[in-house]
Amino acid sequence: MKREVTETVTPGTVVADSLLNDRKNNFLASIVGAGEAGYALARLDVSTGEVAVKAVPKDELRAELGCLEPSEVLIPRALAEDEGLGWSVSGDVPRTIRDDWMFETDVCTSELLRIYGLQALDGLGFQSGDAELVRATGSLIQYLGEIRPSGVTHLKPVRVLRPGRVMLLDEMTRRNLELIEPMRGGEEGGTLLDVLDDTVTAMGGRQLRRWVLEPLVVTEEIWARQNAVSELVDAPELRQSLRDALGGVS
């Protein structure tokens, strides 16, 4: 009988519930250089299917990764010795160095078109000047295909995140405000997230965590979120019905 490895597990591609915190995303990230502009940073959560990418200035990469908390980072070999990258990526995060050709625009474009069944990338929100964003995103999809040859059928459309929508919070700010972890390591509770989190589902908990780490700065979006909350505050019966219905969602 022929024996072969059918699937590999890495920190950023694990999906077993027993190995994951269901109220926190398990992100696989990819970073490619974008010259003086900085970097392109893509993220993918295999367990939820979330895929997103954004351009990040050099002096903001460390803060972005701190908010993202990736479990694994893909890096092209040509970028492996980049000093700015070495300073930004925590030593605790596994780095997977990949051959440069795996991050080439043509290769990554083909992979994205194939997996999403499209004829052009504008269907995913990419624009003509987004080559680095395409490379970062496509490299994630390609890597995932190698690790999980059986395929992943629940990937959501890519979200191309444009600058100026959310406020970037650096490590010191997150720690001093005790947003998601107490200032004194080892303690439990007492963070803003602990106070706010009355969600009944894991997906709700993950969404709230991202909202806390990425506060909005666009006035229209802030008002829209506040109006949505107000609708449910003013309708307690509807709110309870929704909580009861969502209580059965894993």
Written as tens digits, the pLDDT of the chain (250 aa) is 555 556 678 888 887 777 788 888 999 999 999 888 899 999 999 989 999 999 999 999 999 998 999 999 999 999 988 877 777 787 788 899 999 999 999 999 999 999 999 999 999 999 999 999 999 999 999 999 898 877 777 899 999 998 888 999 998 999 899 999 888 766 677 899 999 999 999 999 999 999 999 999 999 999 999 999 999 999 999 999 999 999 877 6
**The CATH classification of domain 171-246, taken from the options 1.10.1420.10, 1.20.1250.20, 3.20.20.70, 3.40.50.300:** 1.10.1420.10
Question: Domain boundaries in the chain?
Answer: 17-161, 171-246
Burial 163-173 (b: 16+ CB within 10 A, else e): eeebebbeeee
pTM of the model: 0.89
Are 70 and 14 in contact, with CB atoms under 8 Å apart?
A: no
Listed in sequence order, the residues at least 6 apart from 102 whose beta carbon sits closer than 8 Å to its beta carbon are 76, 139, 142, 143
Q: Kindly state the helix (H) or strand (E) to which residue 193 belongs, with its residue range.
A: helix 192-196
Mean pLDDT of the chain: 89
Structural fold of domain 17-161:
Nucleotidyltransferase; domain 5 (3.30.420)
